[in-house]
Amino acid sequence: MVPLAEAWDSGASTWSPQEREAYANDLGDPRSLIAVSAKSNRSKADKDVAEWMPPAGHYACTYLTDWTTVKTCWALTTDPREKTALGRLAAACPDEPITVELAR
């Protein structure tokens, strides 16, 4: 969900190699990794929500929730542009509680 390069820029650069490996292979939460087409994966690359959103508009709220969950789970930071985009984009989403199990 949150690309490795984005995770690195958001705090993973200070993690141990074991923590980075655990993040890259996190199958404990279905929101962490999702299967997408190669085209979609190339389009997203290492962009955050300020730079890229899935082309399927109906998936936006799920994507934002999953993005926020992964960032919270792994104690990753959010830069100002990303935070602004999250607030703006999530304003159209239903206000629903989410459950997060902290990984770190």
How high is the pLDDT of residue 61? 96
Between CA 90 and CA 79 the distance in angstroms is: 16
Residue located via tokens 């650069």 = 13
How high is the pLDDT of residue 20? 95
Q: Taking a C-beta distance cutoff of 8 angstroms, is the pair 10, 77 a contact?
A: yes
The alpha carbon torsion through 73, 69, 24, 21 (nearest 10 deg) reads 0
Between CA 35 and CA 24 the distance in angstroms is: 14
Low-confidence stretches of the chain (pLDDT < 70) are none
Q: Is pTM beyond 0.75 here?
A: yes
